[in-house]
Every structure is written in structure tokens, then in C-alpha cells.
Amino acid sequence: MSGNKEQKLILGVDIGGTKIATALATACGEIVAPGRNPTHAQAGPDAVINSVLSTIEETMASGKVDSSQLLGIGIAVAGIIDSDNGEVISSPNLPGWHEVPLGSIVQQRFGIPVYLGNDATLAALGEWHFGLERKVANLVYITVSTGIGGGIIASGKLYTGACGAAGEIGHMIIDVNGPPCNCGSVGCWETLASGTALAREAAKQIAEGANTSIAELAGGDMSKIDAKIVFLAAKQGDELAKELISRLGYYFGVGLVNLVNIFNPEIILVGGGVAKIGDLFLRPAIKVVEERAFGTLVDVVHIKPALLGDDSGVLGAVAFVLERSGAPRLNHSER
């Protein structure tokens, strides 16, 4: 390795609904010092921003660096992000945030370049940059948790669209007559294939008198049912839980068919909490792709679990700094 930029470290931040995660990392994606604090999103923008600033400071202190040793700070946030102006336009995870100039606030505090982007978009970049063993030109990254988000690498480049908001794949309509979505539309992919959809279906079946251990595992509190509990029940052999996950995988597969037919990608990576269910969820999804997408496209696509786990967001933010600051990209062979 040569050049100053590569020797400098990068600080990645991932602001989630419940936690702020940070990583001080090398240009090769090695995490030197991680950081973590609760978001306290309900306390509003000022409190969250202060928490972001102090988490960054703590991480620098723990890594024994000051900002002059950093190439820049990358920040991943869910929602509609204006990367060019470093603004959070709106975020489903952060109530009260409306056109918040988070980029310039952080930049003013630390005096180094700050790059802000959508979390799933940056995660795609992180997976592509640091996760893959062999680079491909076209990749779709999907995160499935309470919602569905995504990021796209097109022709060897992060695809962000006209205003940096591309990749809202969770709001693809796959059932024109489907259930209403939080976004105001109906039948969006995430209303049928997310963790929220799984929990809703489980609660519905229980209300209709289904024989299942899910209610028991939730301590009898229907509002406590989530994807994790349904997965736990499935692992213990609960038939309804297995059936619900398989059905979720089916709907997930329908969205995958669309992405395969639209993007003809080499790789689709599936991350997020629901993806942790593994084969029970992913196998029926891939089956739908094999049955319904164009054969030539199915032959070239690899659909598999994401590679960076919970670090995809922070490492995506790190990769975004490398990309935006024009630092040379390292191939894995150079690592």
C-alpha cells in the first residue's frame, strides 16, 4: 500500500432506531475500535445529534486517534437522505427529523469531511467493498428486518438515483390488492415479506385459534410477538411457525424475482434480522426465483446471506468515505 489516504483511518457511523454503532476502521475494512450507544430516538434530533457526536469522540479516544488522523467520517441513516447536501430529509427511525443538516453539524465539530447516506445503500457498498471475495459489477443488497430496504451496485458503481433516494425496494408493489403499507401505498413488498408481516400473520392466526407455541413463547402478550419469537418456535418444531416462515419466504421470493428480472445481477445479498432465520426463510424464496424469473438470469445470479453481519452499516459508511473522497479502491488481493 502507498499514499497518505490509505494510511489514514476512517470512522463509520450507523444511526439505527435503537442504537448508534460506530467503527474506526482501516481502508481495508479492519475495525480498529468499535463504539456503541443507545439512540434514544424519542428524545428528538438535538439529543440524538449530541449522542452521535459523543459516540464519535468516544470511538476516537478508544482508538487513540484525533480527527487529523482521519480521512473522513461516514454516516449511515435510514430514510431519505440528501447525500450531496449531507441532510437527513426524513427517517422512519428518527421521529421529528426533517431536513436536518447532520453532515455539516458533524463536519463543523471535527473539521474533516463527512459523508451521509442511506443505511441500506451504504450497506450495499460495504458488502461489495469489504464483503465479497471477488468483485462483481452488479449487486443488489437487501436488508429484511421490521421493514425491507436495499442498495444497488450497478455497472461497478453505487447507484443512488436522481436525489440519492434510489433503492426503496421494500416499496415495490407486489400485490396490487394487498394490505396497506405505512408509506401510504398498498401491497408493498415489506407489508408481505418483512419481520412485521411475519409477526402480524402469527398474531392473526393465533387470534383465529391456531394451535401453536408462539403465544406461549411471547408470554401470552400478542404485542411481543416478533420474527425472533416465530423463528424460535420454528426451531422447536412448531408447525405453524415453520409454515409462516415458509410463506414469508415465498413472498420474499416474489420480490427477488422482480429484482432478478430488472437488474440481472451477479449477486443478491440478503441481510437484516429476518435473514438470520437462514435456510428456512431463504430456501422457499430461492425456489420462487427458480420457478418464476427468466432462466438465463437465474443461471447467473447467486442469492445468499449478506457477508458482514451487523457491521454492514458501519463498514458501508467507511466504504462511502473511501468512495466519495476518491481514495483508490483496494482489491482483495492487495489486502
- Compute the distance between CA of residue 144 and CA of residue 198 in angstroms, rounded to an integer: 11
Q: CA-based diameter of the chain, in Å?
A: 66
Helix (H) or strand (E) holding 285: helix 279-292
Contact between 159 and a second copy (CB under 8 A)?
yes
Q: Which of 9, 142, 254, 317 binds a second copy (CB under 8 A)?
A: 254
Contact between 261 and a second copy (CB under 8 A)?
yes
Q: Which of 115, 130, 141, 251 binds a second copy (CB under 8 A)?
A: 251
Q: How many CA atoms lie within 13 A of 135 on its CB side?
A: 14
Q: Which is nearer to a second copy, 184 or 220 (CB)?
A: 184
Minimum Å gap between C-beta 300 and a second copy is 5
Own/partner pairs, 155-160, CB within 8 angstroms, 24+ separation: 158/121, 158/124, 158/125, 158/128, 158/320, 158/323, 160/83, 160/117, 160/121
Q: Which is nearer to a second copy, 110 or 141 (CB)?
A: 141
- Compute the distance between CA of residue 309 and CA of residue 288 in angstroms, rounded to an integer: 25
Contact between 294 and a second copy (CB under 8 A)?
yes
Those residues with Cβ within 8 angstroms of residue 110's Cβ, 6 or more apart along the chain or in another chain: 56, 67, 70, 73
With CB under 8 A as the contact rule, which of the stretches 171-179, 196-204, 220-228, 278-286 interacts with a second copy?
171-179
Contact between 144 and a second copy (CB under 8 A)?
no
Q: Which of 262, 279, 309, 332 binds a second copy (CB under 8 A)?
A: 262
Sheet-wide strand order for 114-118:
31-38, 19-25, 9-15, 70-77, 114-118
SS3 of residue 191 by DSSP: helix
Cell triple for 269: 445479498
DSSP label of 265: -
CB 228 within 8 A of CB 220: no
Q: Which of 2, 184, 219, 221 binds a second copy (CB under 8 A)?
A: 184
Q: Please, is 221 exposed, middle or buried when counting C-beta atoms within 10 Å of its C-beta (0-12, 13-18, 19+)? A: exposed
Q: Which of 192, 217, 233, 275 binds a second copy (CB under 8 A)?
A: 192
With CB under 8 A as the contact rule, which of the stretches 6-14, 57-65, 177-185, 222-230 interacts with a second copy?
177-185
In which residue are the cell numbers 394490505 written?
Answer: 179
Q: Which is nearer to a second copy, 31 or 183 (CB)?
A: 183
Contact between 298 and a second copy (CB under 8 A)?
no
Q: Which of 36, 40, 292, 324 binds a second copy (CB under 8 A)?
A: 292
> Which residues are registered as beta bridge partners of 75?
13, 116
Contact between 169 and a second copy (CB under 8 A)?
yes
With CB under 8 A as the contact rule, which of the stretches 42-50, 217-225, 263-271, 314-322 interacts with a second copy?
263-271
> Which residues are registered as beta bridge partners of 140?
152, 268
Q: Which is nearer to a second copy, 123 or 225 (CB)?
A: 123
Minimum Å gap between C-beta 239 and a second copy is 24
Residues that bind a second copy (CB under 8 A): 80, 89-90, 136-138, 152, 154-155, 157, 159-169, 171-178, 183-186, 192, 251, 254, 257-258, 261-266, 291-294, 296-297, 300-301
